[in-house]
Amino acid sequence: MINFEQSKVLTFDCYGTLIDWESGVLAALKPLLSAHGYDLDDEEILQFFAEFEAEIQKGEYRKYQEVLTRVVQKFGEQFNFAPTNEELPSLANSIRHWLPFPDTVEALKALKKKYKLAIISNVDDNLFAFSAQHLEVEFDWIITAEQVKSYKPALNNFKVAIERIKLPQEQILHVACSIYHDIIPAQSLGISTVWVNRRAGKEGLGANLPVEAQADLEVPDLHTLAVLSIGSGN
């Protein structure tokens, strides 16, 4: 069990945890595929997206906007079509329209009253700036892939976060939806973890890769985490 009174800082993955990225990805990719004659179901699209993104991020560092452009190219290669110059940046450009889950903003505002908050996200600074406007809270630290020149699950992203926060790992609690990108590397560094299982009750993996690990706590949404953590001390 997690001792919430020991935690001083909550670090968050952003996309998939706070922001509904699966809806955003589908809203961008379904019209693209349809325009080229392909009608895939949501689960197929999300699984291809997860595989392509992870493959690209394992290579030499490139900005996330370029990663998403390359993802669009990979869909073209997979299904034998050439995306137009307008279509290539469409996925990256769509991030500004990706919205928080319904429970996110209220929960963050509640958690902000008790904890310092940080973001550890596989994104570019300018792209996160769009999302920050939707999240409506001021984060005490923002650590992006662009700043550290690596993508989670690289330990580097978490090590930089620990260095900037300047607190023992025991006082940091990492909150994320991805076992692969977040739970496993955070735990390996001695950071307690909360798995926000946004796909609880749904079939398929969505935009998640098939790995397994046990977080210290599993919750279905951020509202539940806020109730558990704030209620534990008040």
From 96, 127, 143, give the residue that closes a domain.
Answer: 96
Tell whether 145 and 211 lie within a shared domain: yes
Question: pLDDT (tens digit, 9 = 90+) per residue, 48-102?
Answer: 999 999 999 998 999 999 999 999 999 999 999 999 999 999 999 999 999 999 9
Residue 122 CA to residue 178 CA, distance in Å, equals 12
Mean pLDDT value across residues 24-50: 96
- Domain boundary, last residue among 96, 119, 152: 96
- What CATH number does residue 154 fall under? 3.40.50.1000
Same-domain pairing of 77 and 134: no
Same domain for 107 and 63, yes or no, is no
User: In this structure, are 156 and 54 located in the same domain?
Assistant: no
Q: Residue 206: which pLDDT band, with cuts at 50, 70 and 90? A: low
Q: Do residues 83 and 133 share a domain?
A: no
16 and 121 part of one domain = yes
Number of domains in the chain: 2
Instruction: Specify the pTM.
Output: 0.94
Residue 136 falls inside a structural domain:
yes
167: in domain: yes
- Same domain flag for 88 and 154: no
92 and 137, same domain (yes or no): no
- Measured CA to CA, the distance from residue 129 to residue 60 in angstroms comes to 24
Does residue 76 sit within a domain? yes
Instruction: Say if 152 falls within a structural domain.
Output: yes
Same domain membership, residue 119 and residue 47: no
Q: Looking at the structure, do residues 146 and 219 belong to the same domain, yes or no?
A: yes
Closest CA to 25 of 208, 217, 224: 208
In a domain, 4, yes or no: no
Q: What mean pLDDT comes out for the span 43-50?
A: 95
Question: Residue 95 carries which DSSP code?
Answer: G
Q: Cβ distance 197 to 222 under 8 Å?
A: no
Q: Which residues contact 117 (CB under 8 A, 6 or more apart)?
A: 9, 10, 11, 12, 108, 111, 137, 139, 140
Choose among 24, 131, 18: nearest CA to 71.
Answer: 24
Average pLDDT (27-49) is 96
Q: Please state the separation of Cα 16 from the chain's center in Å.
A: 5
Same structural domain, 135 and 164? yes
Range of the domain at 30: 21-96
Does 3 map to a domain? Answer: no
Would you say residue 1 lies in a domain?
no
Give the three-class secondary structure for 10: strand
232 has a pLDDT exceeding 60: no
The last residue of a domain, from among 96, 129, 151: 96
Q: Which of 85, 84, 80, 49 is nearest to 67 (CA)?
A: 49
How many Å apart are CA 216 and CA 6, to the nearest integer? 14
**Residue 33, domain CATH:** 1.10.150.750
**Based on the domain organization, do 37 and 135 belong to the same domain?**
no
What mean pLDDT is predicted for residues 148-164? 98
C-alpha atoms less than 13 angstroms from C-alpha of 101 in its C-beta half-sphere: 22
C-alpha gyration radius of the chain: 17
Residues belonging to the active site = 13
Question: DSSP readout, 97-162?
Answer: G--B-TTHHHHHHHHHTTSEEEEEESS-HHHHHHHHHHH-S--SEEEEHHHHT--TTSHHHHHHHH
